[in-house]
Homo-oligomer: A and B are copies of this chain.
Amino acid sequence: MAIITLTSDMGTKDHYVAAVKGAIITQYPEARIVDISHSISPFSNGQAAFVLRNAYPEFPKGTVHIIGVNPETDGQTPHMVVRHNGHYFVGADNGIFSLLFDGQPHEAFELTMKLDDDFATFPTKSVFVKAACHIARGGTPEVIGRKVTHVREQIGFRPAVDAQSIRGKVMYVDSYGNLMTNIPEGLFKEVGRGRPFRITFGRTDDDITRISKGYADVPPGDPVAFFNANRLLEVAINKGATGAGGGAAQLFGLREEDPVRIDFAPRDQA
């Protein structure tokens, strides 16, 4: 049974998500539909990419992921099926694919299917569902699209790096108020090589100089930094959450896009 996941900024109050699900079930009754998120901030490619890139690898290879964020109907943004790591992604070539994969996907196809009438106002339902069901049924992308060599690039998630520092940012604030940065564990090890360091993200008082294993390495209410399940640096408050003692975003006054940097001790001190 093929799996189709849904990521969107459509919310769950309106009829949109249900209409998409109904259309999938009508076109391909065997599909197993799984919601990734429908609470992406409106029009945020960055949030959609962050959430989906941290969820999709848990699904079996062959899963088809519909991305209903900025589906674009301006006539200049192709709709695409993209294959990467054995997964399929259906969405508009609005820059999101480059955020999802840190660069170009393994294969990309511009959709050339005939479009339904209501294409212009609800392409997630009228275009993406059709393409996703085709792939989920075992169809090949070549039948519904033509291969292209590049997807549109959007300024990505990679931090700036030099010998003494990594300058990243808050990429995502989760619903507890935990701060997800764009600093991967591998980069931290490669640049730091075991040297002492200082993580700076707000007032000097809040600096962190230790990497923990997880939330519970510090007492409840204390700040903690660790590489999370997705191997990205996360700054959090143990047992803190917005509305329950205060999460990290609230206590440190940080938002998405705010800078987070790591300074390493000079080599001669290491």
Contacts and interface: CB of A to CB of B under 8 A. Distances in A.
A23 interface: yes
B19 A216 contact: no
Interface of A: 1, 3, 5, 9-16, 18-23, 25-26, 29, 32, 34-44, 50-52, 54-60, 72-75, 118, 120-122, 125-126, 172, 174-176, 213-217, 226, 228-229, 234, 239, 241-244
A228 B12 CA distance: 19
A242 to B, nearest CB: 8
Contacts of A242: 42
**Nearest 5 A/B pairs, CB to CB:** A22-B58, A120-B214, A42-B241, A11-B175, A13-B39
Contact of A34 (B18, B226, B228): B18
Nearest to A116: B229
Given A12-B35, A54-B19, A216 B41 contact: no
A174 B12 CA distance: 10
A20 B118 CA distance: 34
Contacts of A19: 54-55, 58, 229
A35 B55 contact: no
